[in-house]
Amino acid sequence: MSGFEPGDFKRRDFLRAVGVTGGAGAMFATMGALGLAPTAEAAAAEPAFTAPRASDFTLTGKAAAKIVIVGGGIAGLAAAYELGKAGYDCTVLEAQDRTGGRNLTVRGGDAVVDTYGTQQTARFSDGHYMNTGPARIPQWMITLDYCRELGVPLEVFTNVNASAYIHTSRTSGTASGGGPVRFRTAKADMYGYVSELLAKATDKGALDKELTADDRERLLEFLRDFGDIGGRVTGDPAKSWRYTGSTRRGYRVDPGAAGTPGTVLGPVPSVSDVLASGVGRAFSFEFGYEQAMLMYQPVGGMDRIPRALTRAVGERKIHTGAVVTRITEKTDGVTVTYTHQGRTRTLDADYCIAAMPPHLLARVPHNLGGAVQSALEACKPESAAKLGLEYRSRWWEDDHRIYGGITNTDLDVGVIWYPSYAFHAERGVVIGYYNFGRDADAYGKLSPKERERRAVAQGVKIHGPKYRTELLSSFSQHWRLMPHVEAAWHSLEGGPDAARYAALNKPAGRVYFAGDHLSHTVAWQHGAFASARKVVGEVHGRVLRG
Ligand code: PHE
């Protein structure tokens, strides 16, 4: 995706790349946040979701209908699960041999054949795994409500760690010559210098138009604490408010018992070196609504969620290996044609929920009209990839004292994730790359072994030789190359409410559309759940009204 800094996962960039920034929506959201547009807030709120109940049919003379759901990812499973609560007769057709869609946890023995026909079999040890798709859940997302309801146990996912690194390859203009810096150190320096500069400007009177005398004193008090800087030296503006380093940078020798106060990490780089290093690029990531700590993951793997949904829906209602080849909407129902184990079959239902990747649905013959077809074609598939590296030791914990979290790089690997589970175990799986766009595509063109080699060469720059010598095996997942998925997520220009997607946000006769692409949280399970709920409400309302 152009517009992305390599390895950068900021919401702003992400939204720009998937085309949902700007416009009235964003403006109203901002105004709403400022308390300027109370009516916009009401308009933007999703109606509260009430799951359909069997008792909703009492005295209506209506009955639950038959529904065919195309796609057994989170949206399709959630739709079947919610409709099932009211007794709807749902059948899920899933092209892959398992449910979950992009929610795929890979463990030892799991095999994936990509669209090139290349097979990889994971060799991870027992108890170790990689979440190749979704891997982190913020507290506000309804994904957690489903975990509660389905009894999926959670643990903290460490998205931000002061001990993890920010790696810069930039060498020009910096005394340090680039390389890895701990988040804590980079922040101490950047916050320190920004505080110093702002304090100096404030004290010089540069902000007298903006601030009252009281404001100025309060701001200075804040900056002193925020940047850990010195105070005013009367009569000496140059010596005032200076950042000269801080214990917040960390220690070269950690403090211990009496007599061993430790040695603070030094020397402190100049403001110019800190700016030139570019470390500041990695800070705003954790400010985002989606990425802020604390975050969560299901204990044992993200696929605990689709597994629990599959169990709740009932395995016999789900046909895996069922590839849909035609959708025909008729005045009184829908016929879905699919192939299963070499045979062509058809399924008739009252309604259909199409919850498969939109750019793949666009290749399925249907009679849903030109507006639907052009809207489907306008959903652009995007690339993202992850590489899991299993190590025979947890050197990142033992040697680097990093327990979970993410190292940010400006290399083509994007970010490197340390596992948030199995601390102090013998082995562990590190995510050696999580990249997207061009970087993901570049790795995707390589063989699995070459991907490993290239990514390991990058990781060695940050972590040293153990990144290579302790490696046991790897598994790489490229979502553009995953059969029946062929995308990490989709970008919808202008967002899901833009006019060109209108045909997907209402039924085409008896066919409804669902998926995270039809939500304001593209690339999150929350979006898939929210979209499924919206469609479930619409179908149920229609059936009740008869
Ligand atoms: N949800 C995915 C993740 O957290 C993709 C994503 C990245 C979505 C950044 C929004 C912002 O990695």
291 CA from centroid of ligand 1 (Å):
8
Q: How far apart are CA 62 and CA 80, in angstroms?
A: 19
Pairing of strands 471-478, 384-391: antiparallel
Nearest protein CA to atom 8 of ligand 1, as residue:
523
Closest CA to 290 of 105, 521, 99: 521
Examine the pLDDT at 154 and tell me if it is beyond 60.
Answer: yes
Q: What's the pLDDT band for 43 if we cut at 50, 70, 90? A: confident
Q: Are 543 and 59 in contact (CB under 8 A)?
A: no
What pLDDT, on a 0 to 100 scale, did the predictor assign at position 161?
A: 98
Q: How far apart are CA 371 and CA 508, in angstroms?
A: 10
What is the average per-residue pLDDT within 371-392? 98
Any ligand 1 atom below 6 A from CB of 523: yes
How many Cβ atoms are within 10 Å of 542's Cβ, its own excluded? 15
Any ligand 1 atom below 6 A from CB of 524: yes
Any ligand 1 atom below 6 A from CB of 290: yes
Examine the pLDDT at 319 and tell me if it is beyond 60.
Answer: yes
pLDDT one-digit tens code per residue, 492-537: 999 999 999 999 999 999 999 999 999 999 999 999 999 999 999 9
524 CA from centroid of ligand 1 (Å):
7
Any ligand 1 atom below 6 A from CB of 11: yes
Nearest protein CA to atom 2 of ligand 1, as residue:
523
Examine the pLDDT at 5 and tell me if it is beyond 80.
Answer: no
pLDDT one-digit tens code per residue, 388-433: 999 999 999 999 999 999 999 999 999 999 999 999 999 999 999 9
Please identify, by atom number, the ligand 1 atom nearest to the C-alpha of residue 9. 9
19 CA from centroid of ligand 1 (Å):
14
What pLDDT, on a 0 to 100 scale, did the predictor assign at position 178?
A: 81
266 CA from centroid of ligand 1 (Å):
35
Q: How far apart are CA 282 and CA 409, in angstroms?
A: 9
Cα Rg of the chain, angstroms: 26
DSSP-derived letter for residue 103 is: -
The dihedral region occupied by 224, where left means phi > 0, alpha psi between -120 and 50, and beta the remainder, is alpha
What is the average per-residue pLDDT within 119-132? 98
What is the average per-residue pLDDT within 336-362? 98
Any ligand 1 atom below 6 A from CB of 16: no
Q: Are 333 and 348 in contact (CB under 8 A)?
A: yes
Examine the pLDDT at 202 and tell me if it is beyond 80.
Answer: yes
Pairing of strands 489-491, 471-478: unpaired
What pLDDT, on a 0 to 100 scale, did the predictor assign at position 39?
A: 64
489 CA from centroid of ligand 1 (Å):
10
Q: How far apart are CA 542 and CA 510, in angstroms?
A: 10
Examine the pLDDT at 175 and tell me if it is beyond 70.
Answer: no
Nearest protein CA to atom 11 of ligand 1, as residue:
11
Q: Are 483 and 115 in contact (CB under 8 A)?
A: yes
Nearest protein CA to atom 7 of ligand 1, as residue:
9
DSSP-derived letter for residue 414 is: B
